[in-house]
Amino acid sequence: MSVSRSEQTPLAAVAARLLALHPKRIDLSLRRIERLLAALDHPERRLPPVIHVAGTNGKGSTVAFARAILEAAGRRVHVYTSPNLVRLNERFRLGQTGGGILVDDAELAETLCECEAKNGGAPITVFEMETAAAFLLFSRHPADAALLEVGLGGRLDATNVVEQPLASVITRVSIDHREFLGDTIEQIAAEKAGILKRDVPAVVSSQAREALTVIERQAARLRAPLSIAGEEWTATEERGRLVYQDGDGLLDLPAPKLYGRHQFENAGAAIAALRVSGLKLSASAFEAGMTRVDWPARMQRLSQGRLAALLPAEAELWLDGGHNADGGRAVAAALADLEERVSRPLVLIVGMLSTKDCAGFLKNFSGLARRVITVPIRQDKAVAATALADIARDVAIPAIARDDLEGALDAAGKLDLASPPRILITGSLYLAGEVLAANGTPPV
């Protein structure tokens, strides 16, 4: 049901006004954010020490690991991430002793209104306004560190105004957002490498050779010391544990709480970033971080909630926001590992946007998924469920379309399978947000 303007909360009202300040299409530039930050007396210069994270896949998980480790060490950590899944507040986590909290509605609305007033009606994107609000919030709350996740790209991302972070991180780079970042891995890597700063150490996850060459070239220009996965540091699974090693020594840690072999490297990138930052952290903080980390919609098991209750007994329900080819490859590998542990027929419920490589994502599951059930997403650029089912069939996965999540779950539960299914809802973070809201289990 739509909400009339008179019924909107203050936060919803300011969010609606901000949408009118700039066309919805993404327009990468630093001019607008720099103008607004100057009007706000440069809150980005009054932040706690910053770790800045870019990449195509894994940057949010890397931030989550870094936060969990720092909080386990008793540090207060501000965190700015995107996109949110259910509520805008999820993007703004304020560090406190004993663990951070999401900013409340009243303070977020007040801060956005302050940014809106200083902007004076000039064109600006919603993300740029939100980023300015994050810097303003973080500058007013004492903390020991701030973790900033790039929204899109890096070079011209609104977060890329911090002049001297403690460290930069570039997680795995792959093809995504071609309309904004370029058609080749080299072009996209150049945009990600735009966050590197002169003389600031940088951690780099495993990369395609073409991407790494671009990153190394930019680092050399800026004399930014590089710490590269497989060269200066390693993070591997050994006997069900995470073994991390770099020039400062070895850490034998519990397996990451976030499921999937790709999370071992994301955890490694977080550890490497904290170590090159010069932060003195105990081994116990790294150990606790692995078991306390939380990052919704990344191979998340939904064992309770309204949607989970719709399934037959013993069926499993999982959720992952993966939406590009490399993300699909990581999720498929995690599912293959699950299959080795406990065999169950796999059913995918998928919704995707037309801006994504739907076939490239889905083909990772060919031979693994018994059925794809497609659903629409409540977004302007969503692929119609029937068209997405056709794409799944084109990559040799039997597929049917349904009108909504409830219908898809009902269809999954009625399939003629030898045992209760393992159901994964995937293909979009927007869809993941719809799932968490409908299930009654939003991020907290």
Q: What is the pLDDT of residue 10?
A: 86
Q: What is the pLDDT of residue 200?
A: 98
Question: Does 87 lie in the same domain as 63?
Answer: yes
Residue whose pair of structure tokens reads 């600031």 in the numeric block: 200
Question: Does 190 lie in the same domain as 58?
Answer: yes
Question: Does 180 lie in the same domain as 53?
Answer: yes
Q: Report the CATH number at residue 71.
A: 3.40.1190.10
Domain boundary residue, one of 238, 272, 292? 292
Domain around 435:
300-439
Is residue 37 within 8 A of residue 44, CB to CB? The reply is yes
* pLDDT tens across the length of the chain (444 residues): 333 444 568 888 888 887 777 666 667 889 999 999 999 999 999 999 999 999 999 999 999 999 999 999 999 999 999 999 999 999 999 999 989 999 999 999 999 999 999 999 898 999 999 999 999 999 999 999 999 999 988 999 999 999 999 999 999 998 665 555 657 999 999 999 999 999 999 999 999 999 999 999 999 999 999 999 999 999 999 999 999 999 999 999 999 999 999 999 999 999 999 999 999 999 999 999 999 999 999 999 999 999 999 999 899 999 999 999 999 999 999 999 999 999 999 999 999 999 999 999 999 999 999 999 999 999 989 999 999 999 999 999 999 999 999 999 999 999 999 999 999 999 999 999 999 999 999 998
Q: Is residue 115 part of a domain?
A: yes
CA distance 420 to 414: 10
Q: Report the CATH number at residue 310.
A: 3.90.190.20
Q: What is the pLDDT of residue 6?
A: 41
Q: Is residue 3 part of a domain?
A: no
Is residue 424 within 8 A of residue 318, CB to CB? The reply is yes
| Domains of the chain: total | 2
Q: Is residue 421 part of a domain?
A: yes
Question: Does 274 lie in the same domain as 329?
Answer: no
Q: Is residue 2 part of a domain?
A: no
| Beta carbons within 8 Å of 74's beta carbon, 6+ residues apart | 97
| Beta carbons within 8 Å of 318's beta carbon, 6+ residues apart | 299, 300, 301, 302, 422, 423, 424, 425
DSSP 47: P
Sign of CA dihedral 274, 276, 282, 286: positive
